[in-house]
Amino acid sequence: MNPTRRQQSQRTAATRASVLEATVELLTENGYAGTSTRLAADRAGVSLGALQHHFRTKAELSVEAMRYVTKRLAEEFVAASTTSVGLEERIAAILDRLLVVFRGPTFAAAVELQLASRTDSDLQRPVRDLHQDVEAIIMRSAQDLLPEISGHPDFDAVLQTSVAAVRGLAVTTMDPITEVDTQWALIRGQLSALVAALDGVEPT
């Protein structure tokens, strides 16, 4: 690729990333109803025409924004973990980090989008496709982080159970003042035992 085309490609990627980041911020702050392509363009510092060159509708923009940040978060999640520590310690660290992610702004934005899709026909199929993509990303990340048990026949079921439990706690404690330490200690212990049992490890 010649230098001019490379620079143009980099500018395009930077514009796209800025717009997607801005959209997630708006979804978190205002919900889906309070998000618009114009607001996203203003927040990202680009023209509405430049935004619409990449994303034709608010539905398309919102779903792609969630797919973008979910993929980035998963990559950061895996990169921040290490397989050099023991399985028991790794499981505990993964669960703790998972709760932090689910209690963060990106998950709040995802919930806003999910709720909006109940009554918005333009969102229903894209959000369903997004959900499937996110589940696949979670599975690949778990396989990368827990290679010694990822081949166990119950791995998928245990992973789904763990993610559902953490996600459920995050949903019921979305307000920042709710105390989760006591609930999390109970849930974390049960999930740690469930995952560790795939390798016959007894958690402490």
Helix (H, G, I), strand (E, B) or coil at 204: coil
Q: How far is CA 204 from the centre of its chain?
A: 29
Mean pLDDT over the full length of the chain: 89
Q: According to the model, what pLDDT value does residue 55 have? A: 92
Residue 203 pLDDT greater than 60, yes or no: no
Count CB-CB contacts under 10 A for residue 204.
9
CATH number for the domain formed by residue range(s) 58-199: 1.10.357
Residue 184 pLDDT greater than 90, yes or no: yes
Is residue 203 a contact partner of residue 195, using CB atoms and an 8 Å limit?
A: no
Q: According to the model, what pLDDT value does residue 78 have? A: 86
Residue 128 pLDDT greater than 90, yes or no: yes
Q: According to the model, what pLDDT value does residue 173 have? A: 85
Residue 170 pLDDT greater than 60, yes or no: yes
- pLDDT tens, residue by residue, 87-111: 999 999 999 999 999 988 889 899 9
- Write the burial class of residue 178 (CB in 10 Å: 0-12 exposed, 13-18 middle, 19+ buried): exposed
Helix (H, G, I), strand (E, B) or coil at 106: helix
